[in-house]
Amino acid sequence: MQRSIVTAIADMMPVAGDCFLMAVPFEPEPLPGQFVMLSFGDGRTDPFLPRPISIFDWEGGMLTLLIRVVGRGTLLLGRQAAGAAVRVTGPLGNSFPDDAGRVCFIGGGIGVAPLFYAAKRSKAKDRSFILGFRSADESYLTGEFSEVAPVRFVSDDGSLGEKMFPHEKLDALVAAGERPDLVVTCGPEKMMAAVHGVAKKHGLRDVHSLESRMGCGIGACLGCRVNMPGASVLVCKEGAVFDGSIFEEKQ
């Protein structure tokens, strides 16, 4: 059951690349791929709206959010200290499917955020990451991801892992015989569409977590509807996880 509560931040930790981790006590246990709506819990009306934030981790009643500063709202949230009140509504949206066989988690930039919990919770025999960042300087939590599953890093400038795009790495892995049963992605839309192209070429099952501006996260404001090539979707209610066919033009 979803809930909306005001709670005190348990911990704040800056990480590289304009990102921070925020830990808040929250029940119930979310499913991988779900998200929460996060706002200030001290009664201020500016910033007004909650932000949709994916779930980086949840362990024993403690929710951890990995947040990148992209505007005034996230900047001010990042300046909050432990003990400050926040409102958390969730867990919201559908979830990533799982597979007993081989699952490849592909993330780009801040899109890596939901993949940590997804890989950690996955029951797949073989789990691995392909994580793409602009550069080594703008990468974060690489050690944490490596503790969950083997990681192939790629970067735009080659300063971290190989100089290539995540979809190219997936293509190379499949060519080398490492064929996933399921591909789970989150990142820039271009990256996810490119991964879908590779997945389709090889006949792989692929799912993607979309991002959209949201007002409420619960299907009431209808603000997050996006027209994807494959369908017009209300991201908060129908997603945020969608099948790769969403990137294909409707026939």
Partner 1 sequence: MTDLRVHIGVTTLKNPILTASGTFGYGPEFEPYLNLHALGGFCTKGISLEPRAGNPGVRIVETPSGMLNSIGLENCGSRVFLDEMLPKIAAYDTAIIVNFYAHSEEDFVKLAATLSESDRIDALEMNLSCPNVKQGGSVFGADPRLIESLTAAVRKVTKKTLIVKLSPNVTDITVTARAAEAGGADAVSLINTLIGAAVDRRTRRFTLGNKIGGLSGPAIKPVALRMVWQTARVVKIPVIGIGGIATLGDVIDFLLVGARAVQVGSANFVNPGVAQDLVEGLDRYLAERGETLDALIGSVQE
5 vs 10, beta carbon nearer partner 1: 5
Q: Give the up-direction half-sphere exposure of residue 175: CA atoms within 13 A in the CB hemisphere.
A: 7
10 vs 218, beta carbon nearer partner 1: 218
Q: Is 131 left (phi over 0), alpha (psi -120 to 50) or beta?
A: beta
Element (H, E) at 139: none
Output the smallest distance, CB 214 to partner 1, in A. 8
Local structure of 104: helix, strand or coil: strand
Q: Give the up-direction half-sphere exposure of residue 87: CA atoms within 13 A in the CB hemisphere.
A: 18
With CA atoms as reference, report the closest residue to 4 among 29, 23, 34, 26: 26
Output the smallest distance, CB 227 to partner 1, in A. 6
103 vs 214, beta carbon nearer partner 1: 214
Output the smallest distance, CB 10 to partner 1, in A. 21
Q: Is 191 left (phi over 0), alpha (psi -120 to 50) or beta?
A: alpha
Interacting residues toward partner 1 by CB under 8 A: 1-4, 39, 43, 45-50, 73, 87, 89, 213-216, 218-225, 227, 232
Amino acid at 31: L
89 vs 139, beta carbon nearer partner 1: 89
Output the smallest distance, CB 67 to partner 1, in A. 16
21 vs 240, beta carbon nearer partner 1: 240
197 vs 223, beta carbon nearer partner 1: 223
Output the smallest distance, CB 119 to partner 1, in A. 28
Output the smallest distance, CB 228 to partner 1, in A. 12
Query: CA 195 from chain center: how many Å?
Result: 15
Backbone phi, psi, residue 156, to 5°: -65, -35
Pairing of strands 162-163, 151-155: parallel
| Gap between the Cα atoms of 192 and 247, Å rounded | 8
